[in-house]
Amino acid sequence: MQTSELISSQSINGNSLVPTPAEPGVINIDAVTDDVGATTGVVNNFGYTDDLKPTLSGFVAPELSGTVIQFFINTIPAGFAEVQADGSWSFTPAKLLEPGHEYIFQTVVQDSATDAVAVSLPYTIYTTDLDADDVVAPQHATDLVLIDDTNAFNIEIQNDKSTHDNTPTYTGKAEAGSTVIISDNGKIIGSATVSEEGNWSFTPESALVDGSHIFTTVVVDSAGNKSDESAALHFTIDTGHSEFYVTDAYTADPVHGSVMNLENGESAFYSVNNVANWLTHINLHVGNPDNGDVTSTLYIDGKMVSSKVVIPDANGNYGVGYSNDWGDSIYLGTHEFVVVFDQGGNSTSFSYQVQPDAIDTVAPDAYYSRLINWDGEGHMNWFETSDNTTNKNVLTFSGKGVEQHTTLFFYDNGIEIGSTTSDRGTWSFTADEPFANGNHSLTVVVVDPAGNSSEASKAVNFTVDAHESVTSDEPSLIVDTLDINVPAALGNASIEDGHIHLGRGSVDKAQVSLDDILNGGKESLMFLDGKIQVAVHGDVGDTLVLNESDMQVTTWEEHDLTINNVDYDLYRVVDSNIELLVEHGVNFEHH
């Protein structure tokens, strides 16, 4: 309710209001609301608005619901509204008001029993042109980003950094429809209009001079209100000696080892049956050796695959190499490689393409290696082409020796039962469904990425005689205690976290099985090759013995390696996933 002195109730004489003695039942106007233009909300009594159809509203006691209110604008009848059940009411004039005028709103309520009327306090507003009522300054520009867009990767120029782009693009966000004024070193150099989504972008029409620059912005709305100045962005333009440039680059074929020098934008070719030639090294030069570290980012077909920091030598030269293991991403088809070098916005890029030099029409070789079955409980069996018998109906086969990036399709008695892909020529496969009891004949067809199929492999024939299902989700029991063949005084040895410790200051001898290794070992324990590994530690003269039954069915290959300054003999079971790393001085009896 208004707080100023009540005017008298009035009688109606024609279309004019005539003051009469005050009567009860007055319904005053609580608010006039502006919902157009830059400034919206409640317009105070004697306030300004650019809304030429503002909404009048108020509340009364709910028991007055149904009461009809008549509205007058400058003493002229303007319409009616009814009080709602909750006591609220609202009214919007049917005709537009005119800008630049004073308007007085009043309500009239007539008592149906006595015909007496009660007239409200006046609510006065002043209309303006569109947005002329906007006296609120906009917020300063936000999300400010300065971009070196001399290449397609739009490198951000960080605060206090350098760039060789003398027409960088400045972007940000601000009030929709407003104008952003951009200044450089305190002098206005241009402006940008903010879109309906609140975005703006500015690129200088004239190149900026080399040297130090400070960008600031001010936002001006349509009513002329100005924001505070944005935070300053300091940067340096150097189009001379600090620009990066590539001095040389080359590729290497990881299969054949041949080297090809590359020019920017050049194409390299690869054999369809080998992994692609691709960028393995690129040299960069920058004129000033004090510029510091550079970020080097590799993109393949527009997707970032590697990013690293490169440190210059004393002459300001940078060299960077990349691993050549990108798998299927560069196997078939034409692919684009782009390396972007960036140092706080000072950037350059180098690109080339790899292309096949022929269409792959050569079918891969048929699968020829024997199959290895892992039964899910740590047991490994070789399945030969001759008859095999197993009491397990869930069989996991693995092998190697196939062309890279191929897919292996498995057939049982001539019916496809699933497929798997090769990774560096190795693979593993578990059928989707358990094998039924009875005779089975398993064959493999190898299909390369070009769709060429090999001939079917020789059949592996086996019989399943499974009395109980082995498809339970219950985990198999992991046995980590080894079968020790040593004097009783030594106690038990065990695999702990993938390690066997034999050395106790005396000559020790322990026996181990392949099951022990599978159950107690860890994947990639000592180095990352995906194998199940166990590390054996002990004194000179200690001995680890493979049990007799496993010795009869295994073939091992041996290698030397050093890990964390410890020398090991590496023993791998051929065609399997098992590796033993035996510390030098410890004997391993496996033949």
Q: What would the mean pLDDT of 45-68 be, rounded to a whole number?
A: 92
Amino acid at 77: P
Q: What CATH homologous superfamily does 142-237 map to?
A: Immunoglobulins (2.60.40.10)
Per-residue confidence at 384, pLDDT binned at 50, 70, 90?
Answer: low
**Lowest-confidence segment of 64-68, 72-76, 115-119, 490-494 by average pLDDT:** 490-494
Mean pLDDT of the chain: 76
- Residue 165 structure tokens: 């782009």
CA distances 295 to 161, 345, 350, Å, are 14, 10, 14
- Residue 5 structure tokens: 């002195």
User: Which pLDDT belongs to residue 288?
Assistant: 44
Q: How far apart are CA 287 and CA 238, in angstroms?
A: 11
- The residue that leads in pLDDT, 394 or 255, is 394
Would the pTM count as exceeding 0.75?
Answer: no
The reply to whether domains 244-356 and 371-464 share a CATH topology is: yes
Q: What would the mean pLDDT of 143-154 be, rounded to a whole number?
A: 79
Per-residue confidence at 381, pLDDT binned at 50, 70, 90?
Answer: low
- Contact indicator for 148, 155 with CB cutoff of 8 Å: yes
- The residue that leads in pLDDT, 252 or 129, is 129
Non-local (6+) Cβ contacts of 344 within 8 A are 157, 158, 160, 161, 162, 163
Per residue in 321-357, pLDDT (tens digit) is 665 555 445 556 677 778 777 766 566 777 777 776 6
User: Which pLDDT belongs to residue 485?
Assistant: 34
Q: How far apart are CA 355 and CA 260, in angstroms?
A: 14
User: Which pLDDT belongs to residue 529?
Assistant: 67
Would you give the DSSP letter of residue 483? -
Per-residue confidence at 59, pLDDT binned at 50, 70, 90?
Answer: very high
Residue 470 has pLDDT above 50, yes or no: no
Q: What would the mean pLDDT of 477-491 be, rounded to a whole number?
A: 31
Beta bridge pairs of residue 461: 441
- Contact indicator for 69, 58 with CB cutoff of 8 Å: no
Q: How far apart are CA 247 and CA 339, in angstroms?
A: 13
Fold of 244-356: Immunoglobulin-like (2.60.40)
Fold of 10-127: Immunoglobulin-like (2.60.40)
Element of type H or E holding 516: helix 514-520
**Lowest-confidence segment of 134-138, 152-156, 509-513 by average pLDDT:** 152-156
- Contact indicator for 554, 535 with CB cutoff of 8 Å: no
Beta bridge pairs of residue 442: 412, 460
3-18: b (≥16 Cβ within 10 Å) or e: eeeeeebbbbeeeebe
User: Which pLDDT belongs to residue 21?
Assistant: 40
Q: How far apart are CA 130 and CA 52, in angstroms?
A: 9
**Lowest-confidence segment of 119-123, 253-257, 492-496 by average pLDDT:** 253-257
Element of type H or E holding 499: strand 499-501
- Contact indicator for 413, 461 with CB cutoff of 8 Å: no
Note every long-range contact of 62-67, with CB atoms under 8 Å and residues 24 or more positions apart, other chains counting: 62/86, 62/87, 64/27, 67/27, 67/109
What are the sequence ranges of the domains in the chain? 10-127, 142-237, 244-356, 371-464, 488-589
Per-residue confidence at 73, pLDDT binned at 50, 70, 90?
Answer: very high
Fold of 371-464: Immunoglobulin-like (2.60.40)
* Pairing, β 388-390 against β 460-464: parallel
